Amino acid sequence: MHLRLGRPLLGESARRWAGVLLACCIVLTAALGLLFAHQTKADWLDHAIDSPIITWLDSHQGLAGWLAAPGSLIPAAALSAAVVVACLLAGRLNGAVLAAAAVPATAGLNDGLFKHLVHRTYLGILSYPSGHTAAVSALAATVAVVLIVAPQKSRTKLLRVLLTGVTCLLVGVVATGVIGLQWHYFTDTVAGAAVGIGTVCGAALLLDLPIVRRQFARVCCQPTPAPLRQDQAKARE
């Protein structure tokens, strides 16, 4: 396996869109956080969306837990590791770094910062934003960047689109599960998705900075010197 830094994660046009998307995620998370700060009950929108989901999943015992599972620590870490390994096998160091950092960085921002700043609770537990939804959204955004945004071979396009679609579908599945378990309000899951997507956009933009790419290339991707021939070795003695 020959490691190389790889092409930039984002093309020129994609970089602009990633910046816009990052700004939108920040504004959405902050606006909802201000609106729901220190709230302990569902508002009319959360109640309208959450109630049918909770009622339906109550009649399907255990299903909500299975739906929420992909956003839990071990499954999210396993999925992240799979993306890291795939990027390393493809020789794309920047993609592997993005995949390794996405979920931990998202969890740090979500659980270590935003939940305590907003202090919205559901049955006494901090709920805003949804950590499960944030984790799986970060995974989906990472897969989209690695498989869709960066230039790829056309013959693998269908498979890449399908894999990205599956991970995006997981976001909705996990959000449904945590609502059904009464861990989060609907708007918690919206903010969680924004945190996950915004974190990946910010990380991809950071990794594409020329100074960062130069540092990675210097530290990790130096070519291995060719072995000396026997006559060259003797000449050096």
The secondary structure of 23-72 as a DSSP string is HHHHHHHHHHHHHHTT--S--HHHHHHHHHHHHHHHTSTTHHHHHHGGGS
Tell me the pLDDT tens digit for each residue of 162-208: 989 999 999 999 999 999 999 999 999 999 999 999 999 999 999 99
How far is Cα 107 from Cα 61, in angstroms, rounded to an integer?
28
Domain-located, residue 56: yes
In 3D space, the residue among 4, 56, 62 whose CA is nearest the CA of residue 223 turns out to be: 4
| Within-domain flag for 228 | no
The answer to whether position 230 is within a domain reads no
Span 11-19, mean pLDDT?
88
CB 136 within 8 A of CB 70: yes
216 within domain boundaries: yes
Answer yes or no: is 6 within a domain: no
- Asked whether residue 7 is domain-assigned, the answer is no
Residue 1 lies in a domain: no
Are 182 and 122 contacting, i.e. CB atoms less than 8 angstroms apart? yes
Least confident of 49-58, 111-120, 224-233: 224-233
Mean pLDDT throughout 26-47? 95
Structurally, the chain folds into a number of domains equal to 1
Residue 22 class from Cβ within 10 Å (0-12 exposed, 13-18 middle, 19+ buried)? buried
Identify whether 32 is part of a domain: yes
Q: Which domain holds residue 91?
A: 12-221
Decide the pairing of beta strands 125-126 and 121-122. Answer: antiparallel
Q: Which residues pair with 126 in a beta bridge?
A: 121
Q: What is the mean pLDDT of the chain?
A: 88
- The pTM (predicted TM-score) of the whole model is 0.88
| 228: pLDDT strictly greater than 60 | no
Tens of pLDDT, residues 105-143 = 999 999 999 999 999 999 999 999 999 999 999 999 999
Are 94 and 6 in contact by the 8 Å Cβ rule? The answer is yes
Dist CA 7 CA 15 (whole Å): 13
- Specify whether the CB–CB gap between 104 and 141 falls below 8 A: no
pLDDT attached to residue 223: 53
